[in-house]
Every structure is written in structure tokens, then in C-alpha cells.
Chains A and B, each alone.
Chain A
């Protein structure tokens, strides 16, 4: 039972943070597409900005790994 709960907690940690990242990236992505259409020279900056919310899912992954392995 304890293993199931641990697995569930790890799944929640990564799942919720992945959803949050996805939502944030969708907003940044649509705004970024608009930016690139008007100023193509900002492509590099937009790509970097798109990668910023990925911190959330990476933190979620770290927490999940700690739940499962530590």
C-alpha cells in the first residue's frame, strides 16, 4: 500500500507540474508566434523564453525522483 501511495505521489508531482508547464508554454508560445511574425530577429529570445517554464516540470521531476528513490 505504501508503494502505491509513493507512486501516486510521484505521479502527482510530475503530472501536475507538467500540466502547469504545458499551460504556461501554450501562452508563451502563442505570444511568441505573434512576436516572431512581427519581429523575426527576436526568434532566439522567444525560444529561450519558451524554455523558461520547463523549470516547473524539472522541479516536479526532481521531487518525484526523491519520493521514489530516497
Chain B
């Protein structure tokens, strides 16, 4: 339901403004309106102006904004730790924090830069370790005291090994040894052992052939390979120690100072939010004026709170809501517990305007009925009911999942009820103890035309109900012409339905004559109230009604699939195979039986029903409140 809103003006002496704003923010029920049009009588607007902050308050605001920026810069350097509550009084701690924040930022920034450099070096060294692990066993196989040199290369393609061997053999005249192994990432590592005087020549050749030699960080580049490996491992250990010390330093700082900074940051947010909101307030020479919207039941609470705090010096005045205000009134939606889960579906739609209707109760009433009419099977209904209960149990804090399960639960109950009416249990007559034969009213599989007529009759009622709601809505807005058009449309549909019904059971002559006269009167009335496009609108409504035939069509498809599944089981001749085939088909039908009725029942609401009486484009009610939950 759309919550009833009141247009309110709060007036008080200027020096109390910030206190009043803090109180309103604490209530979290008042939306401040920056535009004073509609709140102030025409002719006296000149006496009001947007509130201008004095020099001192403006200076305070700039000071707080700078301090908040500095705290943000400092916080970006700190690790994320669970923050304990600070018991400092932030107001008095501000000066101390402002004096310390630059020093702390410089200290933490230094530590952060050092940590980043160490992390980068560690990553580089780690990358090299892949190759070191592969090279180390190879080095053990060759004698390192014979004045030989070692060159390590990486080979991506195994086929290139042969080419490398030929190249090295050609350059060294066969005086070399090559051993290969695989690194942990799959790259082939080759260690070439050769005479020192040939090493430079081979390096040049490898470079020309674009065979990458293992590269190492600059300080280790010119060391012999075994020494390289030893020094790199040593450096890796040093980096790990340094990193742990730097991280520890930052953590220690954060554990000590973060709660204070966090607390001060929140206080600054609160204070700045008050100072920023003042731009939406108006003033005269002596007083401030806060204009805005509050739900009608909350007006008295606001008045009591302000009276209690300021002893009548701040006044709350409820103003009359004018016709021109209707499009600007913010919209808040609040529904009873049964309808609340159905807000999941209305959230897919834009917000309705204040003078329109909340679609939630309509979906809450009609959606489960349509779902039940389409699925209409006791067996499927029971399975979905059980699944919905399980999902509700495991959904925990996931609100959307819980709401979806709740909707399924209600809808499955209707599926069971219509299952009894159709006499269906997994597409068949069901067990005897369910007495489906006695409760069945209609056989959907055979009674195609009666079901079609039933579905269209549902459409007639639903669309006519929509038109009558539109008529009532237009009357409330005092749009008489629009109201008359909707009423004539509804009358036309009723007469057409009666005319169609007379095809099956002829009416007495006076009745049919009255219907014909009503139709003849309705056409010119429609043209007068809706213009030349009104008949087209009428045709659209007739199309909308026929669209309800999907209730029968999709239901028929569902029952036929279930019937085929049962026939399958009998045709296989094997009990296991038959049960498997039937089970699989029933499972597919069950999944379809959840999605298809949901989508089509929603479509009937969104396109056919709501288009008749709901006007979208409302403004969401956003009360002034703190940004965090406290």
C-alpha cells in the first residue's frame, strides 16, 4: 500500500537549526524538500531565501572536509582489521587528531611504500624460484670446479630443444654438455655447460636466435650461476623478514589508532551531513523553515519530539496537500506481512506515482490464483510446497530467496486446490485416498473449449476490475472525463461479454435489447470522452482479455506433458526404465511448471492488468537519516 504522506513545515529560531536537523535525522522519517514551491504562499516568496551559512560555520565546514580527506588518505594505507569501538569523545578529540594526522600519514605512507617495494621484489624473486628449483638438481650433476661456465635457458616449445642442441654443437664444436628438466609451470629449463671462453659467443648466438636466457635481478646478474642461486635464496629470506616487520608495524599502528580515526571520521560525516543539508533549508531574517514530507502517522511523533526538546520554540505545521503537489509527493510503500514477499515482483517495475496504486496487493491476491489455475496438479503442488519449505529453512538472511520461497509456498497451495478441481495428480487420476474423482469438476485434457471460455472469463473480470480501479483513481484525482472513459470502457466490455454469452444461451428479448442499446450508447460516449483513439484503446483491451487464454493453453501443455510421462512409463515394458523415463519427464515438467506459470502470471499483471490503472514515475521517499546503522 502507498503510505499516506503529509506536507510539513518546521519553523524555529535560526540558532537551533543544527539541533533540529540532528533530531530529524535521528528520527529517520522526514524527507527534506529543497524546493519551496507549493510550501510558501504566492506573493511572500521574496521574504524567504535559501539559508546561507555564516562565515564561521562555512570555515568549520571547510576545516572538517579537509580533515576528512586527510583521514581517508591515512585509512587507505592501513590494513583492514576488525575495529574495536572507541570510547573517546570525538568532538574533543578533533583538535588532537587534526594535529597528528599529517605526521601519521607520512609515517604510514613511508611504511606502505616500503611494503609495496618489498612485495614487488618478493614477487620477482618468487618467479625466479620456479627456475631455481629446476636448476639446482642439474647443477649437482655437473662439476663446478673445472673452470666451466653455465648458461640456463628456457624453452617453451619442446621441438625447439633439437634446434638448440644443433646450435650449441655448431658453436662449441661439440665441447658442451646440456641437461634439461621441466619447471613447475611446464616450461623446459636447459642448463648448458661449456668452456668459459665460449660462453659469451654462445650468449650472443642465443640472443640472435631469440632463445631467452634465464634473467635474474640486476644485483645477481654478473655472479656465477651457483652463487646466484645461493644469494637469491638468501635475499628471499631477508625480504620475507622485512615484509613481516613492515606489515607488523602497520598492523600495530592500525590496532592502536584506527578506532580513533574511524570514530572521528564518522563524527565528521555526521556533522558534515548536517552542514550540507542546510543548503536545502530556507530562512527569513530571524527564523529557519524546513519543508518536507513525512508519513501522516509520524506527524504527531515529530511534533511531540520537537516540543519535548525545544519547549514549543520549534513549531511543526501540517499544510494542505494541493492538487499540483500530487506528482511531487514522494512514495513510500508498506505492506502487511502476507503481501511483503510479493514486493519482490513489484521491485521489477518503476515506482507508481502517489495518486496511483501500489501493485503489490494485487499481485499478492491474483498471482497465486493464476499460478494455481495454470499448474493445477496436486502432485506437483505438493512437491513445490515441500521445496518451498526447504528453501525457506535454508535461506537464512537472504531476503530475496526467502521471499521467493514464500511466494512459491502460497502459489503451491493454490496449485493443490486447483489440482483437486481438475482431478490431477502428476497428470493422472491419482491414488484413491485422495478422492480426486469425487472432487474433480473439469477434465482439462478433454474440455479444451470450456477451459478456454473459463480463462477468457477470468480475463474479462480482471481487466474490468482494472478499468474500475482506473475509474476510481481518476475520480480521486478529479479527472472526470478520464473517469467517464474508463467507466464506459468497462461497460462496453461487460456488454460485449454478455453478447458473447448470449451466443451459448440466448437471453430474453428485453435483456438482449438493453445490451444492444447500452452498446450503442457506449460508442459515442467513448468517442466523446477519449477522442478518436478511444476505439483503438478498446480493441487493445479486447486483445488483453484474449491474452488470458494462456491460462488454459499453458495449463493444457503442462497436463499433456505429465500425461505423456505417465504413458512413457507404461510403454517401455521395463519397470526401472519406465520409472526413470517418467521421472525425468515429470522433473522437466515440474521445472517448467514453476517457471512458465510464474512468467505468464506476471506478464498478465504487468501488461494486461496494471496498464489499465497504474501510473508509473513516482519519486521514492528518502527520509533524512544517518548513512550507517547505529
Binding site for B on A (CB under 8 A): 44-45, 47-48, 51-52, 54-55, 58-59, 61-62, 65, 69-70
> Within the complex, which residue of A44, A52, A58, A69 is in contact with B607, where a contact is CB–CB below 8 Å?
A52
> Within the complex, which residue of B448, B546, B600, B606 is in contact with A59, where a contact is CB–CB below 8 Å?
B546
Cα separation A27 to B599 with both chains bound (whole Å): 19
A28 to chain B, nearest CB (A): 13
| Inter-chain contacts of B407 with A (CB < 8 A) | none
> Are A69 and B448 closer than 8 Å at their CB atoms?
yes
Binding site for A on B (CB under 8 A): 345, 348, 448-449, 452, 543, 546-547, 549-550, 553, 599-600, 602-603, 606-607
> Are B599 and A48 closer than 8 Å at their CB atoms?
yes
Interface of B is mostly: helix
Cα separation A61 to B552 with both chains bound (whole Å): 10
A14 to chain B, nearest CB (A): 10
Name the CB-closest residue of A to B598: A47
> Are B549 and A51 closer than 8 Å at their CB atoms?
no
| Inter-chain contacts of A52 with B (CB < 8 A) | 603, 607
B579 to chain A, nearest CB (A): 32
Given contacts A44-B345, A55-B543, 4 further A-B contacts (CB under 8 A): A58-B549, A59-B549, A69-B449, A70-B449
Cα separation A65 to B557 with both chains bound (whole Å): 14
> Are A48 and B348 closer than 8 Å at their CB atoms?
yes
| Inter-chain contacts of B549 with A (CB < 8 A) | 58-59, 61-62
| Inter-chain contacts of B553 with A (CB < 8 A) | 58, 61-62
Give the residue among A44, A48, A69 with the most B Cβ atoms within 10 A: A48
Q: Which 8 A-B pairs have the closest CB atoms?
A: A44-B348, A51-B603, A58-B550, A62-B549, A51-B599, A69-B449, A55-B547, A61-B553
Given the contacts A58-B549, A58-B553, A61-B549, A47 and B448 also touching, CB distance less than 8 Å: no
Name the CB-closest residue of A to B549: A62
A64 to chain B, nearest CB (A): 10
Cross-chain pair count, CB within 8 angstroms: 43
Cα separation A48 to B607 with both chains bound (whole Å): 9
A-B contact pairs, 10 of them (CB 8 A): A45-B348, A48-B603, A48-B607, A54-B600, A55-B547, A55-B550, A58-B547, A58-B550, A61-B549, A65-B452
| Inter-chain contacts of A54 with B (CB < 8 A) | 550, 600, 603
| Inter-chain contacts of A58 with B (CB < 8 A) | 546-547, 549-550, 553
Cα separation A65 to B599 with both chains bound (whole Å): 23
Cα separation A65 to B556 with both chains bound (whole Å): 12
| Inter-chain contacts of A44 with B (CB < 8 A) | 345, 348
> Are B449 and A48 closer than 8 Å at their CB atoms?
no
Cα separation A47 to B607 with both chains bound (whole Å): 13
B540 to chain A, nearest CB (A): 12
Given the contacts A48-B606, A51-B603, A62 and B348 also touching, CB distance less than 8 Å: no
> Are A47 and B449 closer than 8 Å at their CB atoms?
no
A32 to chain B, nearest CB (A): 13
Cα separation A61 to B554 with both chains bound (whole Å): 11
Cα separation A45 to B547 with both chains bound (whole Å): 19
| Inter-chain contacts of B452 with A (CB < 8 A) | 62, 65
Cα separation A70 to B504 with both chains bound (whole Å): 11
Name the CB-closest residue of B to A44: B348
Cα separation A55 to B348 with both chains bound (whole Å): 21
Cα separation A7 to B351 with both chains bound (whole Å): 47
| Inter-chain contacts of B603 with A (CB < 8 A) | 48, 51-52, 54
Cα separation A5 to B225 with both chains bound (whole Å): 91
Cα separation A61 to B600 with both chains bound (whole Å): 16
| Inter-chain contacts of B348 with A (CB < 8 A) | 44-45, 48
Cα separation A55 to B608 with both chains bound (whole Å): 11
| Inter-chain contacts of B547 with A (CB < 8 A) | 55, 58-59
A63 to chain B, nearest CB (A): 10
Name the CB-closest residue of B to A59: B546
| Inter-chain contacts of A62 with B (CB < 8 A) | 452, 546, 549, 553
| Inter-chain contacts of A61 with B (CB < 8 A) | 549, 553
| Inter-chain contacts of A45 with B (CB < 8 A) | 348
A55 to chain B, nearest CB (A): 5
> Are B600 and A65 closer than 8 Å at their CB atoms?
no
B140 to chain A, nearest CB (A): 54
Cα separation A70 to B480 with both chains bound (whole Å): 42
Cα separation A15 to B288 with both chains bound (whole Å): 71
Cα separation A69 to B450 with both chains bound (whole Å): 11
